[in-house]
A and B are shown apart, each in its own frame.
Chain A
Amino acid sequence: MKPTPKRSSKSNFPLGTVRALLVMFAAASAANAGEFGTRCQEAYQNNWQTKVSSLYEICGGFNAELDDTDTQDFYYDLGGSTCGFSTCDASTSLAGVDTVDLFYTATHGGTTARNAYLTMFEEGSYEYSTDWRYGDDNDQVAIFSQYACTVMENHDDRIWDRWGPAFRGGVYVVTGSHDLVYSSTATEDVGRDYADGLQKSKSVRDAWFDGNADFHLDQDLAVMAVGSSSANCWNRVDQIRWQNLTSFQRLRNIDMTHWCRSRITR
């Protein structure tokens, strides 16, 4: 007999409202901590995409760990379609990417020649990277992390077409996968471990790699940044930490001359 499904595909609105109130209370009492927001989606409207088991454990672990030291502004699903990504991205109540210092998301990902995209809850709905521009204000998002397959691939040498628009706003670091990342009972701790690495002042790259690596599963991990030169780009990859974001200049538009990407691959 099959077990009871782990999650209803229907979101729990009252719980979300209560959590939002709690988050608002916590935010008011921890003004100096870094702010982060999380949006994850395990199941999709009318099962239009394959359910991703264990994602809520991954996201829950990330929240629980980082919440120990920092302020969680929201934990929402990926309903509401594009709200929060390409539009409403400056709205906290709509879980906007640009309302937090670190945005963490987990869902199915993919790419086209022009876009990386994240799968939303609503049937047929994706969020496309060329519609994103993150970090325009210095108080907006600095780290954009995605536990999602393929969003950072570059087999066609078009990664900049896909990610240039988002970086031009000034976001420091984008993390994700250049091919596959697994969801499983075996990967339930990857969110918690990533948050732990951030708390320990590892570089964002090292925190992402260490937190998500498994060495039994083939996890294809990637971290990308931009710089005003090649050396500047790698220096940012090596040095940018959750704790030292403000010591780095936001690079916007023509400030950046290079992109650089570090990845673990088979």
Chain B
Amino acid sequence: MTTQTLKMMFAAAWIAFAAPAAEAEHSAYLKAQTERSLQEALANESVSLLEARLPESSASEQLDSLRERLNDLLTAGFLDEVGALTVTDADSDSVIAQSESGAYLEVDEDSSVFRFRVGGQTARVEASARRLTLYELENLAWKVLAGPLADYVPLSEADELVFLGSQYLIEDEADIETNQTTERVVGHIALFGREVEGIFVVGAGSKLALWFTGAGNLMGFDVNWPRYERHAETQATVSIEDVWARFDAYAEQEVPRPGQAGDASVSTRRFECGYVDLGARKRRHASIQAGCFAHVDGFSDDGAVRIAQAEVMPIGEPVERDPNWPATKAMLGEDPDPCADDAPGCGGPPGNPSGPAPFFVTTMTHMEGGWADALPGRASLFVKHAAQLRLGARLAMLHDATLTVESEIPFSSAQIIYGDDVMAELHDRYGHGVGTHCDIGPRINAGTGIDYTALMESAVGATGGPSLFDIGFESSLTPTFLSAFAGLHLANFPDELVDLYVEDFLLAYGFSLTPGAGGGPGASLGLTERGVLELVAEWRVRKVLVDELVGAENNLGCSGGGGLSDWVQAAELADFAYVDGVVGYHFLPTLSGARPPGWTNPAIFGGLYHEPAPVLLEDRVHPVFLDDALDLQEDLGGDVLMSPGSIGRLEAFDGTTGDLTLADVAGALDALEDAVAAQNPTKVGKATFYLPAAIFTEANEPVLAEFFDEVQSRFVEPGRASWASQREVYDAVVAWEEFKKMAVSAP
């Protein structure tokens, strides 16, 4: 009987009678390492340098030996049957044998490193509901270590096997519909390390993990257990003060002192000094020497990401050069970067993406401002529209297409009133785009006979607060805007939304919230009747509603909204990042010299108002950033993306706006060909089909499917274009602009 076996037997016997320890992730031994190391590092003691000896047995020989030992473990009742392990891969690095049940046994080229696992299903049937405690786990592990695996974890007289704690293999799952998560503990992992002459070995080397099922059977092991040979040469170690000085000078990242938070709100969780063995690949080329291992984690300064950094610092005097340990080289005045010269195997830093700009196929579906979805007694209309969208969303998803649905006040309001989050469903479940429809048009009140005064009193009065008219409001709003309030009872809205809704409206118009302090729309700001802030107010009301439905982060765009005021500035002030659905109305604030020939205001009002714009296809397929609407030419560094691209209504490509037919699909594909051909490859390109909600019917499903499939096979699969939402186009243009800047500034 060896000394090692005796040690293990005594340890196991002691554990068997000891009181169970409280469940914890790290053992008392490991925690004590941090306490001791923080106080004194290695207490200025001299240590013998070590050398890791490659085992005499080859990887294949070790594999054969371990296969026999697995049989012993099976016979001894430590292990369930795993089936025949057949060598499936053997190269210069390692050898692996696998069984049909998914078990495998793997031995590294350095055969002191090996691993075994039973198959996943084998372990799963013995899963448990709770984690074994440290006490239970350690007790199980010592029995295995004292028995069949003892030969594979050799210890010299100077060595000690030490228990480090536990990890667990957990499996959880859920039915997607119910989201009821269940969890089980499949593996209970006991971790061990080594002391050499009373000095702990830190790093991946000299580590041992024994995996157990919930029934206590062995389900695997990871062994990294070299033989160390002591050099006659010794190395002094520096004081804890000097250790910190070395971390300060040579660590790649800050290592905060205990109790201190670092620059990025990180702290040092573990701090262990001892021999440093960085694992099989690294230890081959240098002596094992003294060092301290700091485990630093926490949050970034902005709290957005977790930080987890480990710093390893040599603490010997003199430091031994280790080609795979950058800090040793830095302390000896060398370049610490092993890949500084792009050496073979290092890979070097990555490059940047490059190539032609992408082209996107998009759609628009407008839930219009003149609809009566929110009017009393018109719930059936809303239900019909919601059903159309759901049909379209599902069909598009099944055919890999992406839609974008943009909503005006009536449909947005109805979703809130009826508690049906159809737009959120489209975005979250089906991955389609969402946005705001700004269906306001220019301010030309043709007179609709609607009693706006009554409508506004009805709407705002429902909050119990003062009517807008009590504070000096005189309606000069567009009919479309006011009609959207028809039947809109704010009492039906959540309080939070009412606050936003009314307050946004009033503030944007320059009203004081104090009754009687107003003076007409925008009067206090000296605005003209068609001022930008009026546009902002109208857009904001629409945006707030859609924000409420889908989240502001997903609602970046306003579709439409062109008029006599500078809609670019209005978009920026209303917190819209892009404007799509660009038509003739968007040229109204543009200087005459920057307009297409013949696009005067009368011409626009007289018939061009809804024509796709810009006129030239090679201009229309390129979204551009703008500062203002004066010329609609790209303004470098502009704040709002004009995202046009309209190439037509899907059901109108056959020359009629009647039924959707295969002729429409053929025409649409031809138009898409023209749009793709018009792209300047240095700019992001885009084409938009208008798909009205009414097109999403069961009768139209075959033709819609044909359209989606043809776009997929002719444009997407060959890599000529990608489906995208309007929002995704915005993201891509931003990314492309950033990329171009980087490419220009790179050396």
CA distance A226 to B177 in the complex (A): 13
Across the interface, which residues of A come within 8 angstroms of B102, CB to CB? 203, 238-239
A185, CB-defined interface residue at 8 Å: yes
Q: Which residues of B contact A200 (CB under 8 A)?
A: 88-89, 94, 96, 106
Interface contact A130-B428, CB-CB below 8 Å: yes
Q: Quick one: CB contact mask for B659-673 with A, threshold 8 Å, 1 for yes?
A: 000000000000000
In the complex, the answer to whether A259 meets B352 with C-beta atoms within 8 Å is no
B207 adjacent to chain A (CB < 8 Å)? yes
Q: Provided the pairs A94-B355, A258-B175 are in contact, do residues A59 and B304 lie with their beta carbons within 8 angstroms? A: no
Q: Could you say which of B181, B203, B279, B350 contacts A56, with CB atoms under 8 Å apart?
A: B350
Residues in chain B near residue A253, CB distance under 8 A? 397-398
A76→B351 contact, CB < 8 A = yes
Contact of A217 with B747 in the complex, beta carbons under 8 Å: no
Task: Indicate whether A238 sits within 8 Å of B264 (C-beta atoms), given known contacts A3-B336, A76-B352.
Answer: no
Bound-complex Cα distance A14 to B96 (A) = 40
Give the CA-CA distance A94 to B25 in the complex, in Å: 43
Contact of A238 among B120, B168, B735 (CB under 8 A): B120
Q: Which residues of A contact B207 (CB under 8 A)?
A: 214-216
Q: How far is the CA of A201 from the CA of B100 in the complex (A)?
A: 12
Please, which residues of chain B bring their CB within 8 A of the CB of A119? Answer: 304-305
Beta-carbon contact of A265 and B337 below 8 Å: no
Nearest opposing residue in chain B for A122, CB measure: B738
User: Quick check: B339 and A3 within 8 Å, CB to CB?
Assistant: no
Find residues 57-110 in chain A having any chain B CB closer than 8 Å to their own CB.
57, 59-61, 63-64, 74-77, 79-84, 86-95, 108-110
Residue contact B745 to A10, C-beta cutoff 8 Å: yes
Contacts of A141 in B (CB 8 A): none
* Known contacts A13-B742, A50-B264, A186-B278; is-contact A215 B336 (Cβ 8 Å): no
Complex CA distance for A146 and B307, rounded to whole angstroms: 15
C-alpha gap A86/B553 in the complex (Å): 15
Check A186 against B731 for contact (C-beta < 8 Å). Answer: no
| B295/A262 in contact, CB under 8 A | no
Highest count of chain B CB atoms <10 Å: which of A14, A215, A235, A257: A215
Q: Is B728 an interface residue (CB 8 A)?
A: yes
CA distance A167 to B222 in the complex (A): 32
Knowing A14-B746, A150-B306, say if A260 contacts B204 (CB, 8 Å): no
Q: Given A83-B732, A109-B305, does the pair A17, B310 have CB atoms closer than 8 Å?
A: no
Across the interface, do A60 and B346 meet the contact criterion of CB distance under 8 Å?
yes
* Chain A proximity of B10: nearest CB distance (Å): 25
Q: Which residues of A lie under 8 Å from residue B250 when comparing CB positions?
A: 2-3
Residue interface bits B159-186, CB-to-A below 8 A is 1, else 0: 0000001111111111111010100001
Q: Choose among A165, A187, A258 the residue that contacts B310 (Cβ–Cβ < 8 A).
A: A187
With A81-B739, A215-B207, A239-B102: A12-B731 Cβ-Cβ less than 8 Å: no
Interface check B249, CB cutoff 8 A: yes
Chain B proximity of A29: nearest CB distance (Å): 20
A189 to B173, CA, bound (A): 31
Q: Is the CB of A93 within 8 A of B746?
A: no
- CB neighbours (8 Å) of B306 from chain A are 108-110, 149-150, 179-180
Residues of B within 8 A of A185 (CB): 278, 310, 312, 324-327
Which of B405-413, B495-503, B578-586, B715-723 contacts its partner?
Answer: B715-723
The answer on a CB contact under 8 Å between A64 and B351 is: no
If A79-B739, A257-B176 touch, whether A40 touches B204 (CB-CB below 8 Å) is no
State A200–B179 Cα separation when bound (angstroms): 35
Interface residues in B176-218 (C-beta closer than 8 Å to A): 176-177, 179, 181, 186-187, 189, 191, 193, 202-204, 207-209
Interface 0/1 of A29-64, CB less than 8 Å to B: 000000000111110000001111110110111011
Closest to B344 in A: A64
B329's nearest neighbour on chain A, judged by CB, is A3
Contact B169 A189 (CB under 8 A): no
Could you say which residues of chain B place their CB within 8 Å of the CB of A20? 351, 354
User: In the complex the two chains form, is B173's CB within 8 Å of A258's CB?
Assistant: yes
Is B356 a contact partner of A182 (Cβ separation < 8 A)?
no
Cβ < 8 Å to A, chain B residues 301-329: 301, 304-312, 324-327
Could you tell me if B121 and A215 are in contact, using CB atoms closer than 8 angstroms?
Answer: no
Q: A165-B431, A210-B115 are in contact. Are A13 and B743 (CB under 8 A)?
A: yes
Q: How large is the interface on A (under 10, 10 to 19, 20 to 34, 35 or more residues)?
A: 35 or more
In contact, B94 and A196 (Cβ under 8 angstroms): yes
Residues of A within 8 A of B293 (CB): 186, 216
User: In angstroms, how far is the closest chain A Cβ from the Cβ of B568?
Assistant: 23
Which of B171, B351, B731 has a CB less than 8 Å from the CB of A261?
Answer: B171
B168 close to A265 (CB less than 8 A): yes
Which of A52, A59, A87, A165 contacts B731, CB < 8 Å?
A87
* Complexed CA–CA distance, A2 and B121 (Å): 51
Q: With the chains together, A263 CA to B307 CA distance in Å?
A: 19
Given A13-B352, A82-B734, A83-B358, also A110-B304 (CB < 8 A): yes
A160 to B397, CA, bound (A): 18
Residues from chain A with Cβ under 8 Å of B310 in the complex: 182-187, 217
Q: What is the chain B residue whose CB lies nearest that of A191?
A: B347
B104 touches A202 (CB 8 A): yes
B324: chain A residues at CB < 8 Å are: 185
In contact, B355 and A87 (Cβ under 8 angstroms): no
A16 near B350: Cβ-Cβ < 8 Å: yes
B475 close to chain A: CB less than 8 A = no
- CB pair A6–B167 under 8 Å, yes or no, is no
Inter-subunit contact B352/A234 (CB<8 Å): no
Task: Encode B78-114 as 1/0 by CB contact (under 8 A) with A.
Answer: 0000000000110001101010001010100000000
Whether A94 lies near B173 (C-beta < 8 A) is no
Contact mask A173-213 → B, CB, 8 Å, 1/0?
00000011111111101000000100111110110001001
Nearest-neighbour CB distance to chain B for A140, whole angstroms, equals 10
Minimum distance in angstroms from A228 CB to a CB of chain B: 11
Q: Is B348 a contact of A60 with CB atoms below 8 Å?
A: yes
Whether A230 contacts B169 by the Cβ 8 Å rule is no
Closest chain A CB from B393 CB (angstroms): 11
CA distance A80 to B746 in the complex (A): 13
Interface membership of B132, Cβ < 8 A: no
Partner of A93, one of B121, B202, B356: B356
**Residues in chain B near residue A160, CB distance under 8 A:** 174, 176, 179
Binary flags per residue of B338-376, CB closer than 8 Å to A gives 1, else 0: 111000011111111111101010000000000000000
What residues on A are CB-neighbors of B295 within 8 Å? 182, 217-218
Say if the beta carbon of B119 comes within 8 Å of chain A.
yes
Greatest chain A CB density within 10 A among B193, B304, B347 is at: B347
Using an 8 Å CB-CB cutoff, how does the interface string of A222-266 with B read, 1 for contact, 0 for none?
000010001001110111000000000000010011111111111
Q: How far is the CB of B104 from chain A (nearest CB, A)?
A: 7
Q: How far is the CA of A16 from the CA of B174 in the complex (A)?
A: 42
Given contacts A64-B345, A154-B172, A180-B297, contact A79 B353 (CB under 8 A): yes
Q: List 20 A-B contacts (CB under 8 A).
A: A2-B249, A3-B330, A7-B337, A13-B743, A75-B351, A80-B736, A81-B739, A87-B360, A109-B305, A131-B728, A160-B174, A161-B428, A186-B203, A186-B312, A200-B96, A217-B310, A260-B172, A263-B171, A264-B187, A266-B25
State the 4 A-B residue pairs at the shortest beta-carbon distance, nearest first.
A16-B351, A60-B347, A93-B355, A13-B746
Residues of A within 8 A of B (CB): 1-4, 6-8, 10-20, 38-42, 49-54, 56-57, 59-61, 63-64, 74-77, 79-84, 86-95, 108-110, 114, 119, 121-122, 125-126, 130-131, 133, 136-137, 149-150, 154, 157, 160-161, 164-165, 168, 179-187, 189, 196, 199-203, 205-206, 210, 213-218, 226, 230, 233-235, 237-239, 253, 256-266
Known: A83-B735, A87-B724, A216-B193. 15 other contacts (CB 8 A): A3-B250, A3-B335, A17-B351, A56-B349, A75-B350, A77-B351, A88-B358, A95-B353, A149-B305, A181-B308, A183-B310, A185-B324, A215-B204, A216-B293, A259-B173
